[in-house]
A and B are shown apart, each in its own frame.
Chain A
């Protein structure tokens, strides 16, 4: 049963594998070049497992010690995970022991896969989502460690490889548009993010964008629920 779920999950994780291996390597190299030991990228890829925060962490580690500021910044940057949790409440509900790890490893990419893809019939849903999460986690750890090992030894022309994530989110968003009957929510997300990106700049637009999405979804709840026929 587990093997079957693993085999079913693997192909879906290939884009994430590409992205995580390269981004992870970039992160590992960045850590080493900044003068930190090899086990830092290894440790952080295991216990943080959140790309953007880990990159930011390097800057934090080089600045003077500021625990409160660090924590607040990390919470703000990771606040988007609240959304993933809300959206996955039902799917992760009855996963027993696996549930803890599923939540622990809920990154942007793992969320997108587990939220948009349904396990094939005859495959155990829980194990399918578990392996998507575990494979993604392994890719990230491998990438970060590999990057840490290589340090600055190797530079090859991989400019633009991180676009694999953009392409993946493009396809996932497109699939969502094709699947849904009404596009209220997608439209709200799109417009809110654009407006906030323009108003607050790329460094701090996520939190206001999320607030705006919440407010608009709440204000237009009746219309949206009607449109979905539920």
Chain B
């Protein structure tokens, strides 16, 4: 267990000691700060990225568009120039009637005029040029550096069915053919511009033939190949029908992109084909594509061809990506720097806090005198540190005052304890042992000092004063007042005045100087022990109870005057009551009947009567103790608000009673067990003479045997002979009294007798101790006195 405790302690220490952990303020706030900075950086980074990308894309688009435009303009110019030539020539053929040599000259001139004009021809309708010739077509073209001219047409080359002838004838206007490989004609990949020739025959425009211009595509290809798009971008040309006119990959030339698209070997042609089919996609500005390559398509208006530019996106943004990479690295370093700076700052900020934490631990261990760290700052932490200092001062003050009050309280408590001892010491504890009466009283203080009192003292040989009172209020004032009351009674009662006068006198004295108007309720009495008459006076107190020999309990009906100490008053009454032998007068305070239990119920008078009745056969001290015990059992752990006081006076009968004994017999026996038979004989004798029943006689025998053997066995420590006196007497009222006197050692058999548990099981039953129990059970009264060095035991039995 000790180990566990230790571990827990260490753990606690660790968590308490805030240095620079993950829970520290510095760390947490740095993290928050860093996250915020990162977020801001990220947002601006993304914005920059998007913005620059857009700009770069736009610029790239512009650049490429410009390049394409330039190329297209050049091509367009070429085509327009090319278109001009046949038109002029057509007019010339339409109006004039040129011969072969003129025509040859013109055609060769055209071929020479432009490098990309591969060849030119003039083809006529059947028999239109010469009446006897079906075909007539003249074609001039380049072969290396020289120009050749030859006739076209024949069974193997029916030019009327050729696209360049048919299309121009059918549409009646100049047309561009699709690129084709002209076998038997130019023997090269070319495109032909065909212009129809008309002549005015009798005022009517009549088609007579076609004039063509062959453009060598390799020449155009060279122009397009010159287009440079970034590092690896390239351009190619597609006809309106989708035939690739030029492509850097020469194997693709003359292939149709629609065929290629359906082939799906080259997926990029699919999107291209789609864009050409759906002309709206043409000219679209390039977008940062998902694919690595981006394509831009532009239409050539004169021919209906498309210029396609393909370029890798990465090259467009190449610099941007590099830039972003550097930006990222800078960003990371900045964050690290910010992080370190934040930590340093927060650590600096929280340094006083950590010192305060350390100080708190020391204070927690009771070190209030430690010097708190000086914090000069005026911010919140400074304020905290200052209030901490103030708190420590207040705490010191508070603890000091607490210590002071505690020690003062302890002092008061110990003084109260002393007061309690003094107060209790004032109550008479030595209860008189007289054969004519029994007296016992108990005072149970609710607090250290209480306001209840009981008192008794002899006025003379035969008269005794008794009282029970309850001072208003509790605590020290009540106990002081009680002391005053007691002292007054002790000093004033000796005078032999009647009780009501004594009460009135003391009342007057108490009223005289009583600014706090304290008062005391009280029942006082003076008993004549010889006659059994008692004078009682009640000043506002609980009415006493009286229990007769049979255990019948009743409340005494006394006049209740006002309590003592309230005002001067002369209405106190002395009431005379005659006690019968065996009567028990019960005086008590309301602490008895108003004892509370946990349910809030009162002990009350009727229960008190029951308890008294139950223990009617017990002697007076036992009776009082039984009642007090029953109160404690009733209340259990409930703390009582009031003192519990009870005084019981049991009146027996004066030994010097007015009743003269009718009969009397005395015997004297030596302390020898064999003398028991003398007792038996004497008992037999008096039983016969005094007319005592055999049952009573036997009981008397039993009792005397027990007492006699007891004396013989235990009373004498020497071996000498001692005499034991036994006196029997019978009074007129039928009381049989037996008095045993021995000069043995002190032995109060009433005190020594222990209660015998009659219900105990066999195993618990003691073999001895029965004798005194018999005596108690059989006799009605039993008393003990030590008189002049002798033990006097008086037994009484009512036999009539």
On whether the two chains bind one another, the answer is no
Q: Residues of A at under 8 Å CB distance from B?
A: none
Residues of B within 8 A of A (CB): none
